[in-house]
Chains A and B, each alone.
Chain A
Amino acid sequence: MLLGYSLTPFGHDPDAWTKPRDRRRLGFDALLDQVAAAEAAGFDFVLLADRLSIRPADDLSSVAVPFEPTLLASALATRADGIGIIAAASAAQHEPYNLARRFASLDLVSKGRSGWLVLLDDGDAARGNEYVDVVTALWDSFEDDAFLYDKVEGRFFDPSKMHVAHHKGAHFSVRGPLNVNRSSQGRPVLTHLLEEGDEALAARTGELLLLQAGKVEGLVAIAARAIRSIEAAGRRRSDVRLVANVVPVVAGSPQAAGYKVTAPTLAGVRTIGTPEMIADRLHELATAADLDGFTILPPTLETGERFLADVVPELGRRGLIGGKRQVTLRDRLGLARPVHPAISGKEVSR
């Protein structure tokens, strides 16, 4: 079972900042403490969500990370070296060349542990499709073994293994190549958030799909539809990881689990109960919806801590998590390393 941790300064409950009031939680050190705890508990990734590309903003949200997510990801990557880091970034806020560069750099800083949570403009699927294709093509500017570092011959890379995209489409015109080295996991992991609506782009390009639904029936339906779309796109179920958002509320006893959760920014299925009950529930959900794992959206930091302290060991006792720690995010998720198009025989440009 894969485990992700959705990072916020206070928790996903909009009132969490009042319980307790602690200004330090807005700072990098406190955020790093949360990530380090998730890392120590064996989580596979931390998710730095952003407001869903809504601009203009009229304040800082207490339920989103308080720094621009891609830069926070870069900072965290140097201080927590055993966990994947997925940052949200919006196609509406960055030119594709700039976004491709930001994430390619993050993938170098993190030594192959990064992922991009793709945020798109609503209602412009064609632009979104083209945007993701441009970014992917830029990430393929160099083959895995392009860099020679041959001091004697004075050859830094093999020019036959550099590929210039020369993209000309309806929305973007981008020459390339990207001026960043290819990372140790090939490319950042393409991550999409799926709720209602069009999942064609996620099914075609996504490697990690984050499923968001408030109710179990909705979650099962979204997962089934995603799997159908993945297969309709000519891919296999095993090419993609499906991970559902859950809001855990851990209680010492079933009666004590009356905690009220109001409208979290990222909705998820609420799982309330003792550690044993939550472990049961996650196992049932994974089986019912054919899921690979869960992203935890703790309503408060204290509930997150209880999940790490009590539920994670329970999952371990059941053999649902554990095993060898992999370095790259791709390896941790059990995703194949992307084969460069020049090797797989797809047409590429020079």
Chain B
Amino acid sequence: MSERHMKLGAFLMAGGHHIAAWRHPDAHAPAGSDIDHFIHLARVAERGKFDMIFIEDAAAIRERNPDLASQAARSTAFEPLSLLAAIAVNTSHVGLVATASTSYTEPYGLARSFAALDQLSGGRAGWNLVTSASELEAENFAASGLRPHSQRYERAEEFADAALALWDSVEEDAYFPDGGETFADRSKLHAVHRHGKHFSVDGILESQRSPQGRPIMVQAGASDVGKDLAARTANVVFAASQTKAEAQAYYADVKSRLGKYGRSHDDLKVMPGISPIVGATEEEAKAKYRALQELIPDAVGVALLASYLSIRDLSAYPLDGPLPDMPPTNLIQSRQQLIVDLGKREVLSIRELARHFAGARGHWQVAGTPAQIADAMEDRFLDGAADGFNVMAPLFPSGLEDFVTLVVPELQRRGLFREEYEGRTLRANLGVSPPAKS
């Protein structure tokens, strides 16, 4: 049996994952709208043999207050599919995972877009399926309206099934039959006819079949229905876990759900986020981290914390006091609990929690030498907490360059990570099963 290798994703974001990254002296402040910056980052990830790059999304500005929005680089961004289509034809091996919500799109258009990304990249596309929970997004699609959590997932389930069926509506070599009389070989086209509660889909996807069978399905479900949807349909699941115990519990929970859908343990890769701050010495890494933390305006950090708690405003509470009790939420429940637990466990004030979350938005942060970071990753990888990691560099490009130059070779020396890509498709590199023949 070949040794088990960890999977690595590079979660890309403009100037960096740290909310104040764009203010850092080394930052290229307009990075978020600079296509050459993103192509460079994708090539760095590819040099580091990453399985994939990953782009998040929101179909709205993230902050209602214009003064606060105007202090955050995340207020504007590329639409992920356009961005990855551009990167696809400037890279050759790295997987390309775009976030897209099922709440305000239709299965046909979305399936067609991911099929295009898969064709443009030669089989490297992945779809991070999310549902939209924010009021600001709902207000951009007000005819649709914000739905309660359960209905969002019901729509997502039906959406995912429709997209999978559309991708399977075309067999390999359905077009251009050798010696055939017609452009399409109709025996290889299978029209979809689905009439569900949320969608009606009739027809054949206008695309050739994916070079990897189907695009890779990714999710970040942390609620109960989210974890079930991931266990049924996803190839990769992202997660936010602070402690090793939380990560292990999540890993075991998601993996235990695979059996009831007839899937094996290795068909779903669990990849929690890690925010690594790499230094030549531990002290240098910690100094890098402090330099970034000092750039966070308190108002911006607290507003971000409020948005993760799914409440409107925290500004009425003392900055150096504890979090108030939280009202029940219709929005993202799991993230709220994570923050409340952390605040209680480590006795953190609102300001401290805000700064802590601004750094990696609830993900695991590790500041240290390449060996220390590799130690931390190895520990969770070998101890039932992760199949790999979604790497969230606080500052781009230097944070990712440091990781590729310093940490990846350390992981390779330990036999924990690939030296070369296994194949040209994302599916081949992840080593997940091909879709069953339709």
Is the beta-carbon distance between A68 and B116 smaller than 8 angstroms? yes
Q: Which of A168-176, A190-198, A304-312 contacts B (4 or more CB under 8 A)?
A: A168-176
Interface string of A246-290 (1 = CB under 8 A from B): 000000000000000000000000000000000000000000000
Is the beta-carbon distance between B191 and A157 smaller than 8 angstroms? no
Q: Which of A75-83, A225-233, A234-242, A291-299 contacts B (4 or more CB under 8 A)?
A: A75-83
Distance to closest chain A CB from B224 (angstroms): 29
Complex contacts, B20 vs chain A, CB 8 Å: 154
Is the beta-carbon distance between B23 and A154 smaller than 8 angstroms? yes
Is the beta-carbon distance between B183 and A74 smaller than 8 angstroms? no
Is the beta-carbon distance between A175 and B139 smaller than 8 angstroms? yes
Interface assignment of B402: CB less than 8 Å from any CB of chain A = no
Is the beta-carbon distance between B32 and A95 smaller than 8 angstroms? no
Interface string of A91-107 (1 = CB under 8 A from B): 00111011001101110
Interface assignment of A139: CB less than 8 Å from any CB of chain B = no
Interface assignment of B81: CB less than 8 Å from any CB of chain A = yes
Complex contacts, B140 vs chain A, CB 8 Å: 97, 174-176
Complex contacts, A71 vs chain B, CB 8 Å: 81-82, 85, 113, 116-117, 120
Distance, CA A47 to CA B203, complexed state (A): 26
Distance, CA A101 to CA B35, complexed state (A): 15
Distance, CA A247 to CA B124, complexed state (A): 37
Distance, CA A147 to CA B31, complexed state (A): 12
Q: List 30 A-B contacts (CB under 8 A).
A: A21-B176, A28-B120, A55-B108, A55-B203, A58-B189, A58-B204, A59-B186, A59-B189, A59-B204, A60-B207, A71-B82, A77-B86, A78-B86, A97-B140, A98-B79, A105-B83, A108-B35, A151-B25, A154-B20, A156-B71, A157-B70, A157-B75, A173-B142, A173-B143, A174-B141, A175-B60, A175-B136, A177-B61, A179-B62, A181-B76
Contacts from B to A (Cβ < 8 Å): 20, 22-25, 27, 29-30, 32-33, 35, 39, 58-62, 66-67, 69-73, 75-79, 81-83, 85-86, 88-90, 104-106, 108-109, 112-113, 115-117, 119-120, 136, 139-144, 170, 175-176, 183-184, 186, 189, 191, 201-208, 295, 297, 300
Known: A109-B86, A173-B143, A174-B139. 14 other contacts (CB 8 A): A60-B208, A66-B119, A67-B207, A72-B116, A74-B85, A75-B88, A101-B79, A109-B82, A156-B70, A156-B71, A172-B142, A172-B143, A175-B140, A179-B77
Contacts from A to B (Cβ < 8 Å): 17, 21, 23, 26-28, 32, 51, 55-62, 66-68, 70-72, 74-75, 77-79, 93-95, 97-98, 101-102, 104-106, 108-109, 111, 142, 147, 149, 151, 154-159, 162, 164, 168, 171-177, 179-181, 350
